[in-house]
């Protein structure tokens, strides 16, 4: 099979697996929004990205596909011939083949079984350095942080990170080889995420070089105490702080920078006071 042969179609466009899996002129910086929690500590301590199965993505349509009619027909015909051969009924194939192919239970079972059983695990990044929705969805509502990685000197990761293509429809595949490219397609609704993915065949963490961490940006609601804890943790884990840029998102309203972490602290104090005054009061 020629490397540029069409094996995927989506939104009226045709792609070869080679085209999807080989991208030139990649950016050097990739970002990961994260909550400040034990999973972040694990990521930094082990210098590994968590990998998640392609079947367990948040979007229920993520990593889904459809079958090309001609491929489905050929696949069903091949499977039906196998059944007739096992039965010793190849001499009846003209009549029996049509009957077997009409059984809905055959439709796509081979390819779907192959896909479900395929060990595909992925980790996700974005090239969008300042996306409010990313802070909301992945950065714990600005109580988290954004890690910036430069993979240009980490060939193992840089060669395998690929962009997600956003489409209106799910990809239509023409053969088994197409399955490798399915995780790099996603609904257009999510295009604002500017997502890039690394896919591997094992569930264990994906190692990265500590020197590739170049930036740590805290959300606007992260208090100084939590920032200091993260920085001290990085230092204790052997990260070179002199090569990492640290900063915090500032939200400007009417020309004034709003210290949201102080507002959160004030709100918490008010809630504690209200709860204290309400103790013992019948409702």
Which position has the token pair 């695990």? 121
Residues whose CB is less than 8 angstroms from the CB of residue 261 and which lie 6 or more positions away in sequence, other chains included: 220, 221, 222, 223, 224
Q: Count of H helices and E strands in the chain?
A: 9, 18
Residue 35: which of 136, 127, 107 has the closest Cα?
Answer: 136
Does 234 share its domain with 143? yes
> Cβ distance 112 to 179 under 8 Å?
no
Domain count, the chain: 2
> Cβ distance 251 to 263 under 8 Å?
no
Q: Please check whether residue 148 lies inside any domain of the structure.
A: yes
Q: Please check whether residue 138 lies inside any domain of the structure.
A: yes
pLDDT of residue 130: 83
Does 39 share its domain with 146? yes
For the packed helices 109-117 and 69-87, what is the interaxial angle rounded to 10 degrees? Answer: 100
> Cβ distance 141 to 70 under 8 Å?
no
pLDDT of residue 26: 93
Does 33 share its domain with 73? no
Question: How far apart are the C-alpha atoms of 199 and 123, rounded to whole Å?
Answer: 7
Does 34 share its domain with 90? no
Question: How far apart are the C-alpha atoms of 175 and 17, rounded to whole Å?
Answer: 10
Does 190 share its domain with 84? no
| 144 SS3 class | coil
Question: How far apart are the C-alpha atoms of 34 and 139, rounded to whole Å?
Answer: 5
Does 198 share its domain with 246? yes
Residue 209: which of 48, 53, 70 has the closest Cα?
Answer: 48
Does 70 share its domain with 34? no
Do strands 162-163 and 195-200 pair parallel, antiparallel, or not at all (unpaired)? antiparallel
Does 175 share its domain with 36? yes
| 217 SS3 class | strand
Q: Which pTM value belongs to this model?
A: 0.77
Q: Please check whether residue 283 lies inside any domain of the structure.
A: no
Residue 182: which of 21, 52, 1 has the closest Cα?
Answer: 21
Q: Please check whether residue 20 lies inside any domain of the structure.
A: no
Does 46 share its domain with 174? yes
Does 210 share its domain with 240? yes
Question: How far apart are the C-alpha atoms of 100 and 94, rounded to whole Å?
Answer: 11
pLDDT of residue 51: 93
Q: DSSP secondary-structure letter at 242?
A: G
Question: How far apart are the C-alpha atoms of 178 and 68, rounded to whole Å?
Answer: 11
pLDDT of residue 283: 38
Q: Please check whether residue 242 lies inside any domain of the structure.
A: yes
Does 92 share its domain with 223? no
Q: Please check whether residue 270 lies inside any domain of the structure.
A: no
Q: Please check whether residue 208 lies inside any domain of the structure.
A: yes
Domain that includes residue 112, residue range: 66-116
Spans in the chain with pLDDT lower than 50: 1-3, 104-107, 281-283
Does 133 share its domain with 177? yes
Q: Please check whether residue 266 lies inside any domain of the structure.
A: no
């Amino acid at each position: 099979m020629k490397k540029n042969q069409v094996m995927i179609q989506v939104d009226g466009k045709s792609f070869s697996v080679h085209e999807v899996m080989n991208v030139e002129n990649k950016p050097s910086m990739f970002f990961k929004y994260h909550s400040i929690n034990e999973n972040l500590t694990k990521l930094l301590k082990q210098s590994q990205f968590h990998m998640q199965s392609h079947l367990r993505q948040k979007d229920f349509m993520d990593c889904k596909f459809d079958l090309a009619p001609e491929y489905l027909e050929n696949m069903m015909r091949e499977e039906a011939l196998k059944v007739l051969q096992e039965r010793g009924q190849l001499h009846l194939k003209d009549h029996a083949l049509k009957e077997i192919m009409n059984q809905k239970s055959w439709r796509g079972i081979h390819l779907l079984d192959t896909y479900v059983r395929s060990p595909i695990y992925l980790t996700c990044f974005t090239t969008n350095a300042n996306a409010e929705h990313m802070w909301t969805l992945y950065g714990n509502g600005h109580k988290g942080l954004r890690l910036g990685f430069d993979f240009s000197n980490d060939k193992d990761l840089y060669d395998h990170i690929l962009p997600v293509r956003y489409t209106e429809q799910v990809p239509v595949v023409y053969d088994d080889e197409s399955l490798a490219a399915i995780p790099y397609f996603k609904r257009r609704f999510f295009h604002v995420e500017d997502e890039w993915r690394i896919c591997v065949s094992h569930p264990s963490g994906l190692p990265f070089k500590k020197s590739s961490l170049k930036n740590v940006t805290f959300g606007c609601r992260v208090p100084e105490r939590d920032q200091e804890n993260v920085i001290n943790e990085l230092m204790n884990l052997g990260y070179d702080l002199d090569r990492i840029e640290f900063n915090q998102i500032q939200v400007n309203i009417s020309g004034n920078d709003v210290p949201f972490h102080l507002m959160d602290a004030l709100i918490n104090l008010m809630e504690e006071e209200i709860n204290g005054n309400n103790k013992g009061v019948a409702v």
